[in-house]
A and B are shown apart, each in its own frame.
Chain A
Amino acid sequence: MAELDTSGGGKHKGGKIRSKKASTRIDLTAMVDLAFLLITFFIMTTTLAKPKAMDMFMPDKSKPDVQLPVPETRTMTVWLGANDKIEWFVGKPGGSQPTIDNFGKDGIRKSLVEQNKKIKETHQAPDNDMIVLVKASDHATYKDFVNMLDELNIAGITRYGVVDITAPEVAQLKKDGNY
């Protein structure tokens, strides 16, 4: 067989032909450098915090006649005013003075849970969940609106609706200095 003799000298006459033992170690420094550079690049360009989606259902406007009769005692109306202020009341509009509230743990969240409990206790079993009407005024921010929906989620209230605010309600907000 034809073989190429790469060894330089012709010194091994008669002696054993020894192949050169090359080290199996390779210098990996450059490779590691490159790998870390690429890792850094990919860490910087990825978006790990993916945006979240809050599902929203609006009442169907095309069929205005299908309004379910809802007892007012089970309804909580929430107005979103300016400067992150909330006003809410339970029952008929004008029936009771609205309570001025804030966002946060001790604000609207507590009120929602308390009112929900109260309504659960005072009403008959199958139809005893609270219905919340969210009415955002023109000076409420989008953040307030999302926060409100989030609070409803946290409180576990599934029956809520987003309704347009009416002129007398705006007048009340104005009177309380929240518009």
Chain B
Amino acid sequence: MARIKVPRKSTAMDMTAMCDVAFLLLTFFILTAKIRQDDPLHVDVPASTVTQIVPDDNIATLSVGQNKIFFGIEGTDIRIQLLEEMAKKYNLPAFTPDEEKRFSSIPTFGVPLNQLKQFIALDEEGRKTFPQPGVPTDSTANNELSNWIYEARIVTRNLKNQELRFAIKGNAKDEFPAYKKVVDVLQKQSINKFSLITSLKTK
């Protein structure tokens, strides 16, 4: 009996097309990537139907949650200038260029000024575990947040010749007065226009 011979096919595939597609996708993702930054203050933002995207530059973000307020501003040059101005305002010993450089890489922080030097000295891992009490806003005499905002506006005007925009990132579950406190700080400086950061409602 003659055996039926199965023709042996090569197992090697032509991968050229697959390779092309893979690299095309890779290029797309590299170009659109913006590495996710860890938020030191976990804020669960409420959802809304607005579709306007938060601008990337010239914006200061005030995160509100767990009875703390965190302050963040975009732009490394602005951060450096801002730190210098704040040190001047509170008569702190001037920060070294190295400290300024380290500060310029911190996206958001929530420490009072007297702990700031210590906070800057930490590395990225250390900052994550550092207990950040939030930027103080309580009394009118020690309203550091108000001064951060005020100086940030001046610095932005000087460097970019633009009005600084503000965005509030509030926790959905928090009660209204927590949010109101931040708005009051802004309104005291006649900032009546700002944005509320929300996520897109999936409905």
Given A39-B26, A42-B29: A143 and B190 interface contact (C-beta under 8 Å): no
By secondary structure, the B interface counts as mixed
B35: Cβ under 8 A from any A Cβ: yes
Given A36-B22, A46-B32, A143-B172: A55 and B195 interface contact (C-beta under 8 Å): yes
Partner-A contacts on B (CB < 8 A): 12, 15-16, 18-19, 22-23, 25-26, 29-30, 32-36, 45-46, 48-55, 64, 167-180, 183, 187, 190, 192-201
Which residues on the B side are within 8 Å of A22 (C-beta)?
A: none
A36 → B minimal CB distance (Å): 6
Between A and B, how many residue pairs show CB distances below 8 Å? 152
Find out whether the CB atom of A141 lies under 8 angstroms from the CB atom of B19.
Answer: no
Which residues on the B side are within 8 Å of A174 (C-beta)?
A: none
Q: Quick one: closest A residue to B174, CB to CB?
A: A142
Q: Which of A2-10, A59-67, A93-101, A124-132 contacts B (4 or more CB under 8 A)?
A: A59-67
Given A42-B33, A52-B199: A143 and B25 interface contact (C-beta under 8 Å): no
Q: Quick one: closest A residue to B170, CB to CB?
A: A142
In the complex, how many residues of chain A place their beta carbon closer than 8 angstroms to a beta carbon of chain B?
46
In A37-57, which residues have CB < 8 Å from any B CB?
Answer: 38-39, 42-43, 45-47, 49-57
Q: Quick one: closest A residue to B166, CB to CB?
A: A56
Which residues on the B side are within 8 Å of A144 (C-beta)?
A: 176
